[in-house]
Amino acid sequence: MSHTAHIRSHRKPRRTAPTTLAMRAGVAGGVLSTLAVTGASSASASAAEPVTQTLELPTLTAGLAAQVAQSADATQQAAAHYELRAERDAAATKAAKTAKADLVIAKKKAAEAKKKADEAARKAAAERASRTAERATLTAPSAAGTGTAVSASSSSVSTSTATGSAAAVVAFVKAQVGDAYVLGSTGPNSWDCSGLVQAAFKQVGVDLPRVSQAQSTAGTQVSLSNLQPGDILYWGGAGSAYHVGVYVGDGMFVGAQNPSTGVVLKPLSYDPPSGAVRVL
């Protein structure tokens, strides 16, 4: 063992390193504290304002979105309401037009029906008058009736007073006696009154109107006391006649009377006419 082993060293301990380390640690800690405080301040300063914006902006955006959605719903409902109202107005207008058109058609049909009914009534009255006159002729005194019948029979085929075209007209209508009466018919085996008269005059080149009303004014009006064979007889007013026939001479006429009698040769007393016109 060394002789100096138990001799304590008289050197002072070295304290430089700890002090230096402590100083360095203090400086570093201060720097770090300063940086931490500065960072914290900066972070707090920088975070303070965004917090307000972050909290407020979403709140405002959500409220605005809700208002926009409500406004859109209200607009859509209003549009649907106006569209429905427009459709109802259009339907009402269409229905009104249809009803107006139907009313016009109904009035027209009613007028036509009335016209037909009036015409049927006139024809029925004429037929009743014909039947009444026929019954009166049949119930006349037998002696007088026989004399009249003989006179009518002996003269009914005479056309001695008819000449030229009038004689041809008389011959034509007499040839149709016994044919059927059919409303609207113009021959050759069935006739109505004006169809028979028109066909008779067509034989001699005279074109007469088709209906009784027009035929009653087709020639010169003549007195019933001054008739000549070939004159057109009419029943009713001139221009509104409902029946026509042809005078064939000797107080006789030929006419397509009605469905029950057909075309007949009768005396004027059978169905006294209202007037006469002369075409030939």
Question: Strands 220-222 and 262-267, how do they pair?
Answer: unpaired
How many CA within 13 A on the CB side of residue 245?
31
- List, in sequence order, the alpha helices (H) in the chain: 16-138, 142-156, 164-175, 193-202, 212-215
> Using 50, 70 and 90 to split pLDDT, how confident is the model at 137?
very low
pLDDT value, residue 10:
52
**pLDDT digits over 229-251, tens only?**
999 999 999 999 999 999 999 99
> Using 50, 70 and 90 to split pLDDT, how confident is the model at 15?
low
> Using 50, 70 and 90 to split pLDDT, how confident is the model at 216?
very high
Instruction: Please state, in angstroms and as integers, the Cα–Cα distance from residue 268 to each residue in 171, 224, 227, 233, following that order.
Output: 18, 10, 11, 10
Residue type, 247: Y
- CA dist., res. 26 & res. 193, Å (int): 147
Per-domain boundaries in the chain:
140-278
CA nearest to 203, candidates 132, 111, 279, 107: 279
Using DSSP's 3-state secondary structure scheme, residue 144 falls into helix
pTM for this one? 0.46
**pLDDT digits over 19-69, tens only?**
555 555 555 555 455 555 455 555 454 445 555 555 555 555 677 777 777
Using DSSP's 3-state secondary structure scheme, residue 247 falls into strand
The superfamily (CATH) of domain 140-278 is endopeptidase domain like (from Nostoc punctiforme) (3.90.1720.10)
